[in-house]
Structure 1
Amino acid sequence: MEAVSLLQHHVEQQLREEGGLSSVQFQLLARLAHGPGALTMTELADGVVYSRSGLTYQAGLLEKAGLIERGPSPGDERAIQVAITQKGRDLVEHVLPGHAEVVRSMLFDPLAEADVETLGTLMNRVRDHMRALPPRSAAPRRKRSE
């Protein structure tokens, strides 16, 4: 947990300094920039493992900054579709090299090549196990207290 927190701190610092982004905002933009194209809000929330309400707030900030666009989903009128704008793509491409450098220097530099391969194998197995569980969006919403 401590290693994750330390890495997160350095990643957040780099993203704020180079792009004015939080790590969640960067994850959202990167998923849209390097994914299958437009995603629904639910797909995006499940992909970055973020709450629906938190995603709505973050998407509003990104939309106001001109980095994403939201609109009705052509396949489901109840869903909202999110797409990255060219300005959003440009920002991802601007901060990505620094992001990769921070992750490399903080996480991978102290490891031998065999350690990196082992870590990748283990983390893929853990991720796949966790992703096999129902996504957060499938969980029933908590009712507000009256």
Structure 2
Amino acid sequence: MAETRWLDEQEMAAWRGFVAASNLVARRLEQQLKDEAGLSHPQYEILVHLSAAPERAMRMTELADRLITSKSGLTYQVAQLEKAGLVGRRSCASDVRGVFAYLTDEGMALLRQAAPGHVAAVREALIDVLDREQLAVLADALGEVASRLR
């Protein structure tokens, strides 16, 4: 059995900083979206991804992959958005098992309304706290982590 490689002081500081910052940023953004748009962060991200897709539609499996979530978790969130009239679902003409989610006009309008406040919150919580060099290091480092875990 391999010996445990315990974290040294620098590694522990990096880990603790990451955990604290990621939780605090996520909490702040979740609250801002709930207060200003009545959306959860995952719901907002669904609207963003659909708005950028051709014809504002995407297969549910692809959307789940992009959002890094389970199909069942995505199905729940899309159902909530569908009840609110922000998203719809339709069958795939070429694959009977395939389902597309699409952004409604109401969903697009809410996204346009919510985006400025969300971007301001992202800036306040993370982007404007760091200088350009720190942002580059952060993007590179977290990109590497995401790449390895995918």
> TM-score, normalising length from structure 1?
0.83
Q: Which residue of 1 aligns with 2:94?
A: 75
Give 1:1-146 correspondences, 5 Å limit.
Answer: 1-36=19-54, 37-131=56-150
Counterparts of 2:34 and 2:27, CA distance in 1: 11
Q: Distance in 2 between matches of 1:69 and 1:34?
A: 16
Where do 5+ consecutive residues of structure 2 fail to align?
1-18
Residue 101 of structure 1 and its aligned partner are, at CA, apart by: 0.9
- Which residue is 2:5 aligned to? none
How many Å separate the matches in 1 of 2:52 and 2:148? 23
Number of residue pairs the alignment of both structures matches: 131
Tell me which protein shows more helix as a share of its residues: 2
Whole-angstrom CA distance in 2 between matches of 1:64 and 1:10: 26
Measure how far apart 1:130 and its partner are: 2.9
Q: What are the ranges of 5 or more consecutive residues in structure 1 without an aligned counterpart?
A: 132-146
The TM-score with structure 2 as length reference comes to 0.81
How far off its partner does 1:47 sit? Answer: 0.9
Structure 1 residue 121, shift from structure 2 partner: 2.1
**Greater relative CO (CA pairs within 8 A, separation 6+):** 1
Max Rg structure: 2
Query: Which residue type is aligned with residue 88 of structure 2?
Result: E
